[in-house]
């Protein structure tokens, strides 16, 4: 009887130990994913914000559009950021962040529409783009603000782990 009780206690202890180790590995994997998400999001936000800087100078009359394109191409604005991986992490592992991420994409699209409208005016010969400066700066400020909210939400997920 004592051997049976001893074996049963050992089996229970081993089962608990294995469950604990599995939980620790799961928490560590999630922590690695949330850290990767934070780094990818930070790099992407910076890339989006810096992408429009040469075109802001075009709007102000400091550069031609071709010079801005050359700057964009030479710096590789946005390259090196794996946006698909960022989206995948959100959709598969952090679905609770979808709403904040959607808001971030919406503000990014607003910035892109301002840049597109300026590009179209520039193509039609309207070189003075000062009317686009204030809306672009406002859109960038909104993007930065929503981006900080998104990063704060990611940090909150990390603290839950």
Could you give phi then psi for residue 76, rounded to 5 degrees? 65, 45
Residue 13 lies in a domain: no
What is the residue range of 35's domain? Answer: 30-160
Residue 25 lies in a domain: no
Residue 10 lies in a domain: no
- Report field, pTM of the whole predicted structure over 0.95: no
Residue 15 lies in a domain: no
* pLDDT digits 0-9 by tens, 77-118: 666 789 999 999 999 999 999 999 999 999 999 999 999 999
* pLDDT digits 0-9 by tens, 2-53: 888 899 999 999 999 999 999 999 999 999 999 999 999 999 999 999 999 9
Residue 23 lies in a domain: no
The domain total for the chain is 1
């Amino acid at each position: 009887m004592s051997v049976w009780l001893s074996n049963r206690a050992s089996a229970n202890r081993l089962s608990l130990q294995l469950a604990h180790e599995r939980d620790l590995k799961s928490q560590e994997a999630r922590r690695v994913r949330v850290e990767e998400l934070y780094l990818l999001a930070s790099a992407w936000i910076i890339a989006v914000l810096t992408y429009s800087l040469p075109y802001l100078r075009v709007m102000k009359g400091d550069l031609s559009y071709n010079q801005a394109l050359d700057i964009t191409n030479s710096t590789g604005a946005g390259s090196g950021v794996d946006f698909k991986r960022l989206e995948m992490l959100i959709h598969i592992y952090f679905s609770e962040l979808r709403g904040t991420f959607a808001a971030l994409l919406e503000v990014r699209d607003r910035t892109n529409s301002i840049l597109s409208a300026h590009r179209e005016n520039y193509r039609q010969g309207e070189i003075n783009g000062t009317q686009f400066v204030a809306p672009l700066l406002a859109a960038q400020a909104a993007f930065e603000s929503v981006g900080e909210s998104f990063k704060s939400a990611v940090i909150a997920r990390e603290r839950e782990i």
